[in-house]
């Protein structure tokens, strides 16, 4: 069984005009994705942002739930935040995973757009269950990861579709659906 990691990327990502931007870290993304990551056995949830002020905000929010009153009030939240790590960039994430495993992670992009080399959930689920190499799932905030960055990944996971053509989900919803497809019973 592979260790699975998750990275929520805030830069570089697209805005609605397809311009490269940095998005803000949100309280909901921290809480909800940490809880989902814990539920589905994600080894570490990385929140990636280059701005020190944004990383400090995330640490302050998490600190409330990891120490003192917040930790006493809601021990489940404390457990969920124990898997979260704040990172400056993806290079830091890749290096930490490689240092832990002796091999770099298989990098898997998620996107609402379909690419020529997109893989099915069943294929990635099989890799997780049988491969043994660490796997890093990358999620973009805003309007998603840059196309050129997605195309550099080892694998690209197919988009989420329902019975309609609409597939612009919040990143929290997308993470939940994808983790359930990959790790759920």
Q: What pLDDT tens digit does each residue of the chain (185 aa) get?
A: 899 999 999 999 999 999 999 999 999 999 999 999 999 999 999 999 999 999 999 999 998 888 877 777 777 778 889 999 999 999 999 999 999 999 999 999 999 998 988 999 999 999 999 988 999 999 999 999 999 999 999 999 999 999 998 888 999 999 999 999 999 98
Could you give the dihedral angle defined by the CA atoms of residues 51, 91, 26 and 42, in that order, rounded to the nearest 10 degrees?
-160
In this structure, what token pair is assigned to residue 136? 């890093």
Residue 103: C-alpha distances to residues 8, 30, 90, 141, 170 (Å): 21, 27, 15, 27, 32
Locus of tokens 């840059």: 146
In this structure, what token pair is assigned to residue 115? 């690419």
| CA pair distance 59, 156, nearest whole angstrom | 30
Residue 49: C-alpha distances to residues 8, 12, 143 (Å): 9, 9, 16
């Amino acid at each position: 069984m592979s260790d699975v990691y998750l990275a929520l990327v805030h830069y570089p990502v697209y805005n609605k005009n397809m311009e490269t931007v940095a998005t803000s870290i949100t309280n909901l993304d921290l809480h909800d994705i940490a809880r989902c990551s814990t539920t589905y056995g994600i080894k570490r949830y990385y929140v990636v942002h280059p701005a020190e002020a944004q990383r400090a905000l995330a640490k302050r929010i998490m600190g409330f739930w990891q120490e003192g009153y917040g930790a006493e009030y809601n021990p489940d939240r404390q457990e969920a935040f124990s898997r979260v790590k704040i990172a400056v960039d993806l290079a830091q994430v890749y290096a930490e995973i490689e240092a832990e495993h002796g091999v770099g992670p298989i990098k898997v992009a998620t996107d609402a757009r379909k690419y020529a080399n997109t893989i099915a959930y069943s294929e990635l689920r099989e890799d997780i269950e049988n491969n043994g190499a660490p796997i890093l799932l990358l999620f973009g905030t805003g309007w998603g990861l840059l196309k050129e960055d997605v195309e550099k990944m080892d694998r690209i996971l197919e988009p989420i579709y329902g019975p309609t053509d609409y597939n612009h989900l919040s990143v929290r919803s997308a993470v939940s659906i994808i983790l359930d497809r990959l790790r759920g019973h």
